[in-house]
Amino acid sequence: MQPLKGLILSGGKGTRLRPITYTSAKQLVPVANRPVLFFGIEAMANAGIEEIGIIIAPETGDEIRAAAGDGSQFGVRISGELEITDAIQHLVDTGKRVEPHVVQGWWKDTGRLEDMLEANRLILDTIVTRVEGELDGSEVEGRVVVEPGAKLVRSTVRGPAVIGAGANLVDCYIGPYTAVGEDCVVENAEVEHSILLAGSEVRNLDGRMEASLLGRNVIIARGTRQPRAYRFMVGDNSEIGIL
């Protein structure tokens, strides 16, 4: 039997996840602090597939290549990246069998905010508790991962949840199904059922933030300067909910 080759579709512009996808490929938006694309690669590796091709889009191809590399980090060979039309045409030109197939089983398209949060929930439900960061007067309940370099001060994390390396949590509550990325700051706030990408900050909120996806280096905070007012700098296709 010839070795099997895998093919992962990683194209598309990610328009339904804007503004997140203005600066990042949707396949690299993390769930449980790992890019969605990596779960597909790892699943193929676990199935014994050693060579994988990735279908890319021109807009995000370079970013996908940089993230996936040559596949060695997953124990596979990523043999090439093609646009979807090129890949199909190549199969036709070389006389290969090409036919459509309707998937009858369960699958999850992570093209919308609600789908990203659901995928995050599904992955977090599989984690095993691992606390390698620093707990200072803090508690972790349930299945929680605290990566090295993270520091929790007078805070409570109720799992399943993951706290990324270098994150700083002070006087806060992190509820179930939350992924806090590396170097994030959550201070005097409550966050639940949300994804915070690397470098984001949430500070001094009166209400709980939930069902949210924050991009890299986003700041959500209650200001103290006068006159008191809402002050926003918001990109295209964004959405803000106010209590």
**What confidence category does residue 16 fall into, taking pLDDT thresholds of 50, 70 and 90?**
low
Mark which of 71, 96, 124 sits at the end of a domain.
124
Cα–Cα distance measured from residue 114 to residue 41, given in angstroms and rounded to the nearest whole number: 23
Least confident stretch, 12-16, 25-29, 91-95, 125-129: 12-16
**pLDDT (tens digit per residue) in 151-190:** 999 999 999 999 999 999 999 999 999 999 999 999 999 9
Q: What digits encode the pLDDT tens for the residues 94-142? A: 888 888 778 776 666 666 788 889 989 999 999 999 999 999 999 999 9
Note down the domain range covering 55. Answer: 5-124
User: Do 18 and 90 belong together in one domain?
Assistant: yes
**CB 16, CB 213: distance < 8 Å:** no
Helix (H) or strand (E) holding 62: helix 61-68
- Both 185 and 78 in one domain: the answer is no
Q: Is the pTM of this model over 0.75?
A: yes
CATH, residue 91: 3.90.550.10
> Angle formed by the axes of helices 61-68 and 36-46, to 10°?
50
Structure tokens of 89? 């045409």
Query: What residues does 192 pair with on adjacent strands?
Result: 210
Structure tokens at 22: 């203005």
- Within a 10 A sphere around the Cβ of 193, how many other Cβ atoms? 18
**Do strands 34-35 and 30-31 pair parallel, antiparallel, or not at all (unpaired)?**
antiparallel
Highest mean pLDDT among 11-15, 82-86, 117-121: 117-121
Residues 84 and 147 in one domain: no
pLDDT attached to residue 91: 78
117 and 157 belong to one structural domain = no
Q: Is residue 231 part of a domain?
A: no
